[in-house]
């Protein structure tokens, strides 16, 4: 019999998935929402629809999510605008995090990613733009999106520190870092979060996660439910079939069990998909199933 929730009727609370405290003063539920794709939300006719994007934001917050992850480059600024339009005035317990560190332009043919841009003057300019788009005076969590090989990492992180000293940023996080880069950032400021690619099939950031767990730093896995072509895919599919759940729901539950530092932020442009991801909070996996998944990942 399936124990997966499909009605979308239940609301997350502090006991459903637990909470995590970021920077000592931002306590959020341990299942957030990655807003990268919201500007691509479409109406029933298949046309991109900004109101549908706003509805998506309101839906996840109404379901109890109180941590949203954005970036200046998502939708070329539209992501932050949509969040502001949908949710202002913001609920008191809602944390909206955002990032800077890529060049804000369209991806050229042949590119798989925008090029990094970590110059301090760029970071400061983008912070002001993000504040305006989100309608905020202070960004609760501002993250260094990616190290720029053309700019000393100390200089890029230093710009975030200056923004914090100016009162525009409350806390600083980093993303796409290895242990050495994390150590550099921590030598300059208190780093309260790390956002690296991580899921049941891709665990190269385990050493970074171990530091985060040891030192009370929140770990935000990006691409948390993209499992294709990994050794864990078959094992996760089997567990999902036993529960009448989706592989994405099983992947989210595995992350929640993986570490108390983990704050999964699955994202989508589709309201129904967002509801299904949140329903993963009520999926109960046995110790035997979790052990099977761990073994599959390790293999």
Where in the sequence numbering do the catalytic residues fall?
74
Say how many residues make up the chain.
299
Longest dimension (CA), the chain: 57
Beta carbons of 147 and 116 less than 8 angstroms apart: yes
Long-range contacts of residues 289-293, Cβ cutoff 8 Å, at least 24 apart:
289/239, 289/242, 290/254, 290/257, 292/235, 292/239, 293/200, 293/232, 293/235, 293/236, 293/239, 293/250, 293/254
CA angle centred on 67, ends 206 and 2, rounded to 5°: 75
Residue with structure tokens 């890529």?
Answer: 102
For helices 179-188 and 153-165, the axis angle rounded to 10 degrees is 40
Beta carbons of 255 and 262 less than 8 angstroms apart: yes
β-pair type (218-222, 33-34): unpaired
Short-list 193, 197, 141, 128, CA closest to 169: 141
Q: Give buried/exposed letters for 118-144 (b at 16+ CB in 10 A, else e).
A: bbbebbbebbeebbebbbbeebbbbbb
């Amino acid at each position: 019999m399936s124990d997966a929730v499909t009605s979308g009727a239940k609301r997350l609370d502090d006991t459903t998935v637990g909470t995590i405290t970021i920077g000592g003063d931002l306590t959020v539920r341990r299942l957030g929402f990655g807003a990268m794709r919201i500007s691509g939300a479409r109406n029933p006719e298949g046309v991109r629809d900004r109101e549908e994007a706003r509805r998506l934001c309101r839906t996840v917050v109404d379901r109890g999510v109180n941590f949203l992850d954005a970036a200046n480059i998502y939708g070329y600024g539209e992501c932050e605008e949509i969040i502001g339009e949908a949710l202002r005035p913001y609920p008191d317990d809602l944390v909206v995090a955002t990032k800077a560190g890529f060049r804000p332009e369209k991806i050229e043919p042949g590119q798989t990613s925008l090029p990094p841009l970590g110059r301090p003057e760029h970071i400061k300019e983008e912070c002001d733009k993000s504040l305006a788009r989100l309608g905020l005076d202070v960004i609760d969590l501002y993250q260094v999106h990616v190290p720029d090989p053309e700019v000393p990492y100390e200089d890029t992180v230093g710009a975030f520190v200056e923004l914090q000293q100016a009162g525009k940023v409350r806390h600083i996080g980093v993303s796409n870092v290895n242990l050495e880069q994390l150590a550099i950032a921590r030598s300059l400021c208190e780093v309260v979060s790390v956002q690296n690619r991580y899921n049941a099939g891709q665990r190269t950031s385990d050493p970074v996660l171990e530091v985060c767990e040891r030192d009370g730093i929140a770990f935000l896995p990006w691409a948390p439910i993209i499992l294709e072509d990994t050794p864990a895919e078959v094992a996760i599919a089997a567990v999902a079939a036993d529960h009448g759940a989706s592989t994405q729901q099983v992947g989210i539950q595995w992350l929640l069990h993986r570490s108390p530092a983990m704050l999964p932020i699955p994202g989508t442009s589709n309201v129904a998909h967002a509801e299904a991801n949140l329903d993963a909070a009520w999926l109960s996996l046995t110790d035997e199933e979790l052990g099977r998944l761990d073994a599959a990942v390790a293999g």
